[in-house]
Amino acid sequence: MSAEGETGIRWAGRAGRVSEPRRVVLFIARLGTVSESLVYALEHEFPWVLVEQVESVEEACTSFEHSVSLILVDAALLKAAEARAADLSLLHPQALTAVIEIDDRNPAFSVSDIFGSRLVRGVLPMNLRLDVWLSVVRLMLRGGEYFPAGLIHSYAKKLTDEAAGPPGQEVRGRTHMGDLTAREVQILEMVSRGLQNKSIAAAFQLSEHTVKIHLHNIISKLGAHNRTEAAARFRDLQTNGL
């Protein structure tokens, strides 16, 4: 592999020589969170990537020499990042932002923090096997969202418990949103958080086809044109109270 110019890298692949523009992976994390060996592995796996590290959100609110494609935020700094979300989006419009999960047994954030965030579009566990970890980074560099299965299952359980109500009460099967069932409310809630059908299906142990059927019924019952409009109505009703 050989670098050519300051704006891109060329390398030989199966389909011939390919060119990629230089892109930045920006870590916003406390000193020592990201090891030198991990940075080396990242830049070795993606030779067009430059790793930048800052210790505060304020330091991240600046322009870099190359476009930032991925922002990885230490969970301890999530609230500070949310407070500067508009600045980060303005300065790094092409970047997907994800939270670094240091200890999956004792996360520094709640499920609601993640799925209620307007900034975060993924969670990157730091205790994955290196090849798996790099695969998740590759997905994020391509704009894909990633949430650990355990996090999604936890959120699904929370929604199920909320739909069931306090012990001793009858399970709520209907809502003020037309004739939606409890399951449809749960699925619509997850759609409103930006989750895709595959993740929703995994959370409720359903097939993607079943999720699509539920969404078709939800859209029909609400008289909406698509899932986006249905999700928007749900968010409005959440704000005003179901």
pLDDT in tens, 203-225: 788 888 899 988 988 888 888 88
Average of per-residue pLDDT across 66-73: 95
Q: Which domains does the chain have, with CATH numbers?
A: 2-146 (3.40.50.2300), 152-240 (1.10.10.10)
Both tokens of 236, joined, read 């409005």
Q: Identify the band that residue 161 occupies on the pLDDT scale cut at 50, 70 and 90.
A: low
* Side-chain half-sphere exposure of 8, counting CA atoms within 13 A: 7
Burial 24-36 (b: 16+ CB within 10 A, else e): bbbbbbeeebbee
The better pLDDT of the pair 89, 185 is held by 89
Ranking 10-19, 35-44, 61-70 by mean pLDDT, the lowest is 10-19
> CA 126, CA 133: separation in Å to the nearest integer?
7
Would the pLDDT of 192 be above 60? yes
Amino acid letter, residue 223: G
Q: How confident is the model at residue 164 (pLDDT cuts 50, 70, 90)?
A: low
Rounded mean pLDDT of 134-150?
A: 88
In what order do the strands lie in the sheet containing 8-13? 2-3, 8-13, 16-21
Those residues whose C-beta lies under 8 Å from the C-beta of residue 94, and which sit 6 or more positions away, are 67, 68, 69
What pLDDT does 12 receive? 44
Mean pLDDT lowest for which of 13-27, 41-55, 187-201?
13-27
Structure tokens at 183: 């399951």
Cβ atoms of 54 and 98 within 8 Å: the answer is: no
pLDDT mean across residues, the chain: 80
pLDDT for 2 beyond 50: no
Q: Quick one: DSSP state of residue 39?
A: H
Tokens of 31: 């000193």
**pLDDT mean over 16-21:** 59
For residue 61, is pLDDT > 90? yes
Distance between CA atoms of residues 164 and 172, nearest Å: 6
Q: Quick one: average pLDDT of 33-56?
A: 93
- Residue 62's pLDDT band (boundaries 50, 70, 90)? very high
Beta-ladder partners of 10 = 2, 19
Burial group, residue 216, by CB count within 10 angstroms (0-12, 13-18, 19+): exposed
CA-CA-CA-CA torsion sign (115, 203, 239, 223):
positive
Rounded Cα–Cα distance for residues 169 and 174 (Å): 14
**The overall pTM is greater than 0.75:** no
Q: What are phi and psi of 107, to 5 degrees?
A: -65, 150
Residue 108's pLDDT is 67
User: Hey, is 55 helix, strand or coil?
Assistant: coil
